Structure 1
């Protein structure tokens, strides 16, 4: 049985499946691309052929425009499989954002799973992560340090709602990434009983409409830019983190700047960004979840694509799992890390 490192290669264009003739989340335009999810450090424009879930293809089209998200698109549902040049390929939910998938590959009895980005917490807008046993598991490591242990998201959201009740005259502006985090917060607010409008920065509107078109109800959404200042008293406004400390937010009613991100665990980051209300709500696995996932997939070898590789590889070694840093270039440029720095 061939080892996955004989048929899965790290190239300047990204991770390449040699017998299948395709890349997974390539970092530049290629002929054949399999895409795990719609964040722009994983989903780039200009590929000739793109395979992904139906939801990811729709998200890519919203973000890039018609025709730029692959000259031809092929949708594959979770659990459906197809064979490309002798390589069996199927997708499993990754739990990261709507439509996010792990790419499972099998060639000549050898199995590799490429996680993309993933989280293990529940999310009303995304299917829950499903572990798949394999010979090599390719994992992210965004929060791969023991300091990162994400609290229950419901408890963090309760902090926001308590603050809104305490300061009914002020507008709460929550910095959150436009794909995934924004829609997750809205769905969590609805679950918590918030039936008032949620106001959006213009940058968040299109993807919320896409989520709704894909069957994720988000309730009464309004554009914050056209709302009267008076109407935004006691309101919740969702915006890109970079807009929270910007002139855009100053026009609101005594804004309470908040940011929802796993990086809010680091107080210094919150302080530097002028964040009054840090909310530790992450769309990535934390330290314990990364290690629990490693145990569940039962892979004797784990490749780490981006993030804090050293600590994770050391911890895996203590558990008898061989770790390897892949040093793929170009990941982690979008999503929580970049957005929080911008804030």
Structure 2
């Protein structure tokens, strides 16, 4: 069987005809395999969803009563068969519950990485390379300019800034699922044991992380109440909020707010400047250029299919290495969760 007969792009997402299921579909389908809980990959409205136990919990928390699908939680490495097609999940290292989808049929194996990274993350299982005939790799940061710095060093930048500006509240924009919890854990590992203040939009997901065994330490609501002294108590404190809140009236309630943003896109100075970010924190949940290329070399697939980002550069790199590669050009997957 040719790989394109086992899995190919459609307007709804990657489709497996013999198994009659989609991977991370962007529209409602009968059967969905979901790699992780970010909203551009884990949409509601499908007939059934197969995903890790953690991703199922995350989807239920995010979508509430809107998550009506039949749920098939599976453990990493647990094989499920659908119409003779074997499906199993391997760690992706992206966020809690994230997984690569491995599809096997009639001697052909295709691995879809979903979003992934290779560096240490205290909140989720580390990426594990899986040998395959076809590797479908994301390419969010698929340009040589994107080489992410040491994550612990970025966390220490925040702590040094607090020492320099103890009179200012440090407001850090971080996405509510994945990035916020990872940032909190890295700060804890650098010895920060004081309460960290969180925006109300992060409360439910932080509580879920705790229930799923990820310890976040003392967290407090980032609520500035009326009355003398309420505002001043946030001086020199860390406040984590959704990126959109950084430019809101909510942010201006804090004492001389110092705006920060944790994202791989903070490597691009113009992006930081446009957002008014004083303290850019280059912290990504996606593989950088070196991680992408090292992974392709390690897995060494017969074919590389590239999607979700800077496809052309990674395809060209693969071709120069003598590899067979193509861009899938799937639509509906955004950089917003980064």
TM normalised by structure 1 equals: 0.96
C-alpha deviations, 1:206-251, integer Å up to 9, x for none? 1111111111111111110256212211110001111112221111
SS state at 1:247 partner: coil
How many Å separate the matches in 2 of 1:16 and 1:136? 15
C-alpha deviations, 1:234-277, integer Å up to 9, x for none? 11000111111222111101111000000000011101110000
Aligned pairs for 1:78-157 (under 5 A) are 78-157=76-155
Q: 1:269 aligns with which of 271, 284, 304?
A: 271
How many Å separate the matches in 2 of 1:268 and 1:333? 17
Q: 2:194 aligns with which of 188, 193, 196?
A: 196
SS state at 2:89 partner: strand
Any unmatched runs of 5+ in structure 1? 337-343
Q: 2:252 aligns with which of 250, 253, 257?
A: 250
Residue in structure 2 matched with residue 282 of structure 1 by the alignment: 284
SS state at 1:61 partner: helix
Residue in structure 2 matched with residue 53 of structure 1 by the alignment: 52
Residue in structure 2 matched with residue 162 of structure 1 by the alignment: 160
Residue in structure 2 matched with residue 240 of structure 1 by the alignment: 242
How many Å separate the matches in 1 of 2:68 and 2:299? 31
How many Å separate the matches in 1 of 2:322 and 2:67? 41
Any unmatched runs of 5+ in structure 2? none
Please say which of residues 258-267 and 3-12 is displaced more in the overlay: 3-12
Please say which of residues 298-307 and 114-123 is displaced more in the overlay: 298-307
C-alpha deviations, 1:128-163, integer Å up to 9, x for none? 000000011111110000100000000111111000
SS state at 2:244 partner: helix
SS state at 2:188 partner: helix
Conserved 8 A contact 1:16-1:23? yes
How many Å separate the matches in 2 of 1:52 and 1:252? 40
Conserved 8 A contact 2:303-2:324? yes
How many Å separate the matches in 2 of 1:33 and 1:294? 26
Q: Does 1:13 align with 2:12?
A: yes
Q: Does 1:174 align with 2:172?
A: yes
How many Å separate the matches in 1 of 2:2 and 2:248? 51
What is the CA-CA distance between 1:84 and the residue it aligns to? 1.0
CA RMSD of aligned residues (A): 1.0
Residue in structure 2 matched with residue 313 of structure 1 by the alignment: 315
How many Å separate the matches in 1 of 2:279 and 2:119? 21
Conserved 8 A contact 2:267-2:282? yes
Q: 1:300 aligns with which of 289, 299, 302?
A: 302
In structure 2, relative to structure 1, the CA distance for the partners of 1:115 and 1:70 (3 Å cut) is farther
Q: 1:259 aligns with which of 247, 255, 261?
A: 261
SS state at 1:258 partner: strand
